[in-house]
Amino acid sequence: MTTLEIMRRAREASRAVAAASGDVKNCALLAMADSLEVSTPAILRANENDVKKAKGTVSDVMLDRLTLTAARITAMANGIRDVVMLPDPVGRVLDEHVREDGLSIRKISVPLGVVAIIYESRPNVTSDAAALAIKSGNAAILRSGKEAHESAAAITKALQTGLRAAGLPEDAVLLVEDTSRESANELMRGVGYIDLLIPRGGRGLIRACVENATVPCIETGTGICHIYVDGAADFDKALSIVENAKTSRPSVCNAAEVCLIDEKIVDTFLPLLEERLTAHEPPVELRMDERCLALSKRGVPASETDFDTEFLDYKMAVAAVSGVRAATEHIARHSTGHSEAIVTEDGEAAAYFTAAVDSAAVYVNASTRFTDGGEFGLGCEMGISTQKLHARGPMGLRELTTYKYVVVGNGHIR
């Protein structure tokens, strides 16, 4: 099928999903989960082909992400079943206003329509994204990375069987067949077919979407996250927060990349931080500005780009700043607007920081690693938005809806 044909079919199918009741959508999700498990042998065969082709061309981490097992497929199915338990985001009355003349104006949440997701090689994204789209009343167009295409096709086929069993059109979840860059471009420019495009991937993909997309697009997942250790910080909290934010999972977007230290405490705090992070296994490489470097035993000089780099690795840029105000100014210049934290016992500094920092999540005395749909109580997430329009931070089911005004009169004219 051409990508244009896929967009046409998804648009058509989106009407049926939008009209489906919460019960019908939940039945479909349960059938999708069951079908996924029943299809385990077929999915594993397809995945074997993907893995065989990918071997030698991608890193071991990538290869591990790509590889499916029966247990992983069951986990995917259970992920869909978890979505069933979440409240229906559609049909909520967001606002209600009855005018004096009796005209009733209700603002009601409705599905967006067709949501397209461009992602990379993790096969579980195929089922996660499809489940969130269906639950929120949308049709999904999925464009998997080339490396995972056979797996994604087998997963999609299983999900479609589930949709059909519940009486929903199987076109409500469609996988783009063309894995060349051209199909991504077609999605980006699918005005009239696509209501929201979510690129989930590296900086190159996000930038391509910003540059080329004519459909509404939400940027996700680039995180140059900062932790500012204030002069009034509790050092124990600061050390464990920086360590956790940097090392608990360095490859994810909510991991910290930069530590800013108040110059009032830099000479006492930096040696402790250095001890803590170089004792970590594996040790963290600290890339320091001049001020810190002079106080350091094992730091290396930061290059010009280190304060603008998402390392996604056991590396951290470290600089001294002249207080909370300077910290927020540094953050305004270098942050991607994802998550930033202050560690302080000074309420005024905390208030200044949370007000002045313009990021999706701003933390006081907590690790940036909490920026996540599950941790925030949304139950799931489609990605983490780093833009300000429509959705900011973790995107749950509500962020996959829009609203309309339903206005009921009795012959009202203006």
**List of residues contacting its own copies (CB under 8 A):** 15, 18-19, 97, 99, 103, 105, 110, 112-113, 191, 195-196, 210-211, 214, 216, 218, 234, 236-237, 240-241, 243-245, 248, 332, 350, 354-356, 358-367, 369-371, 375-377, 387-390, 392-393, 402-414
Q: Is the Cβ–Cβ distance between 312 and 255 less than 8 Å?
A: yes
Q: How far is the CB of 388 from its own copies (least distance, A)?
A: 4
Beta carbon nearer to its own copies, 298 or 390: 390
Residue 70, CA distances (Å) to 51, 62, 158, 316 in order? 15, 19, 14, 37
| Smallest distance from its own copies to CB 241, Å | 6
Q: In what order do the strands lie in the sheet with 139-143?
A: 173-175, 139-143, 114-118, 196-199
Q: In the Cβ-directed half-sphere of 78, how many Cα atoms lie within 13 Å? A: 6
Nearer to its own copies, 279 or 408 (CB): 408
Of 85 and 413, the one with the shorter C-beta distance to its own copies is 413
- Residue 55 or 325: the one with the smaller Cβ distance to its own copies is 325
Q: Min. distance of Cβ 297 from its own copies in angstroms?
A: 25
**Shortest Å, Cβ 93 to its own copies:** 13
Shortest Cβ 151–its own copies spacing (Å): 29
Answer whether 368's CB lies under 8 Å from 245's CB: yes
**Least distance to its own copies, CB of residue 332, Å:** 8
Kindly tell me which of 309 and 365 has the beta carbon lying closer to its own copies: 365
Q: Copy the structure tokens of residue 63.
A: 């290869």
E strand map for 252-338: 256-262, 285-288, 300-301, 315-321
d(CA 17, CA 323): 53
Q: Buried (b) or exposed (e) across 128-142, using 16+ Cβ within 10 A? A: bbbbbbbbbbbbbbb
Provide the minimum distance between the beta carbon of 254 and its own copies in the complex, in angstroms, as a whole number. Answer: 9
In the complex with its own copies, the residue whose CB is nearer, 74 or 240, is 240
Sign of CA dihedral 150, 156, 161, 162: positive
Cα 285 to chain center, whole Å? 27
* Cβ closest to its own copies, residue 21 vs residue 49: 21
Q: CA nearest 266: which of 310, 231, 302?
A: 231
Amino acid sitting at position 374: G
